[in-house]
């Protein structure tokens, strides 16, 4: 059996599903021995085009390099790839990166440019750090030499649409925190004299929070989910309150928590609201990596809309 490291790339169509399709098809050919995290990478050369999702798969097969190259081309065609221009955008790109066999014929191993490409080396080092990517040079050594140049790791778990355990726990923690903030508002001794201004400001913030959260939820329509994993088949929403902040539902919940705490002058509630803000920022960091995997345009959306829960600030 021969072991091959195969680089996967996609920047057209449903990029994530294209990569999943490639892993499935490679599994029909041989034994999938390792799959790296998925990364997002800026295109190198060619016409203007979107960012790529990249990964590396380690597969063991009873095929020589030329036969394996032909299999890779067949899988690309099955994903709808059309070779119209060099370095152009593509639904799926499979490259033979490295192997434990000698090369010959059309296939050149290791890949001539593997040692120069971070988007190849970084995922390759996860599954086969000692792979030879140039004469006398391993993937680990090559990556150390070129350093980090903006290849972003998005997720370790990505092969199936099933919700990762971390995503489920984030939802549990979110609702627990919301319950604790509500409980903190009634905590004995936490409520001080209710100043009229505090009540008015609190009620106003609460109303705004409800309006923002409801409006943002309605804009999402069937794409709405408390889960940080975007729904399969959904589209990126960038209108309504999403023109001003990327996560307006969280903005609304924070306003509601702050407003409720101010209305009853609860210092415990205000402190709990601060913890809630920190938690939302952590959840957003996870969620936005998953959103970037699902929506090719999410990276550009992040550039246009800078605020996560507060416009222009936070």
- b/e 185-209 (16+ beta carbons within 10 angstroms → b): beeeebbeeeeeebeeebeebbeeb
Identify the pLDDT of residue 279. Answer: 96
Give the separation between CA 242 and CA 285, rounded to whole angstroms.
17
Give the separation between CA 5 and CA 127, rounded to whole angstroms.
9
Give the separation between CA 307 and CA 76, rounded to whole angstroms.
38
Whether 2-155 and 165-304 share one fold: the answer is no
Enter the CATH code of domain 2-155: 3.30.70.560
Give the separation between CA 248 and CA 281, rounded to whole angstroms.
12
Please give the full DSSP string across 163-192, using - where no structure is assigned.
Answer: PPHHHHHHHHHHHHHHHHHHHHTT-TTTB-
Q: What is the pTM of this model?
A: 0.85
Identify the pLDDT of residue 141. Answer: 95
81 belongs to the catalytic site: yes
Question: Which top CATH class is 165-304?
Answer: mainly alpha
Domain chopping of the chain, boundaries: 2-155, 165-304
Of 15, 20, 93, 122, the catalytic one is: 93
Q: At what angle do helices 248-263 and 165-184 cross, to 10 degrees?
A: 20
Q: Which two tokens stand for residue 146?
A: 């070129």
Nearest to 57 by CA among 85, 25, 101, 103: 25
Identify the pLDDT of residue 191. Answer: 47
Identify the pLDDT of residue 278. Answer: 96
Q: Which two tokens stand for residue 106?
A: 């059309």
Give the separation between CA 28 and CA 22, rounded to whole angstroms.
10
Block means of pLDDT (10 residues each) for the chain, 314 residues, are 94 91 95 96 75 95 91 90 66 93 76 92 96 94 88 91 87 93 73 65 92 94 86 88 96 95 86 94 95 91 94 87
- CB atoms near residue 86 (< 10 Å): 8
243 belongs to the catalytic site: no
Pairing of strands 152-155, 38-41: antiparallel
Q: Which two tokens stand for residue 68?
A: 């394996």
Nearest to 255 by CA among 216, 307, 214, 207: 207
Identify the pLDDT of residue 160. Answer: 85
Of 15, 20, 90, 308, the catalytic one is: 90
Identify the pLDDT of residue 19. Answer: 96
């Amino acid at each position: 059996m021969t072991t091959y490291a195969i680089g996967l790339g996609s920047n057209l169509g449903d990029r994530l599903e294209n990569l999943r399709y490639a892993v499935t098809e490679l599994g029909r050919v041989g034994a999938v021995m390792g799959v790296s995290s998925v990364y997002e990478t800026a295109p190198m050369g060619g016409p203007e085009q979107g960012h790529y999702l990249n990964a590396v798969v380690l597969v063991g097969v009873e095929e020589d390099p030329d036969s394996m190259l032909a299999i890779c081309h067949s899988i690309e065609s099955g994903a709808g790839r059309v070779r119209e221009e060099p370095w152009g955008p593509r639904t799926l790109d499979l490259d033979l990166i490295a192997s434990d066999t000698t090369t010959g014929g059309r296939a050149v191993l290791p890949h001539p440019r593997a040692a120069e490409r971070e988007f190849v080396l970084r995922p390759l080092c996860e599954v086969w750090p000692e792979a030879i990517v140039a004469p006398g040079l391993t993937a680990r050594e090559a990556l150390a030499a070129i350093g980090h140049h903006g290849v972003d790791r998005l997720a370790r778990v990505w092969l199936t649409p099933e919700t990762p355990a971390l995503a489920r726990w984030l939802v549990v923690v979110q609702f627990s925190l919301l319950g604790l903030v509500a409980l903190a508002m009634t905590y004995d001794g936490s409520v001080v004299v209710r100043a009229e201004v505090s009540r008015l400001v609190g009620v106003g913030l609460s109303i705004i929070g409800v309006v923002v959260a409801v409006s943002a939820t309605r804009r999402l329509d069937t794409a709405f989910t408390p889960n940080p994993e975007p729904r399969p088949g959904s589209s990126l929403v960038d209108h309504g309150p999403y023109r001003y902040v990327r996560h307006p539902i969280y903005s609304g919940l924070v306003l509601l928590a702050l407003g409720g705490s101010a209305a009853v002058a609860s210092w415990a509630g205000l402190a709990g609201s601060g913890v809630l803000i920190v938690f939302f920022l952590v959840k957003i960091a996870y969620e936005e990596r998953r959103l970037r995997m699902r929506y090719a345009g999410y990276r550009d959306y992040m550039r246009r809309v800078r605020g996560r829960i507060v416009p222009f600030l936070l």
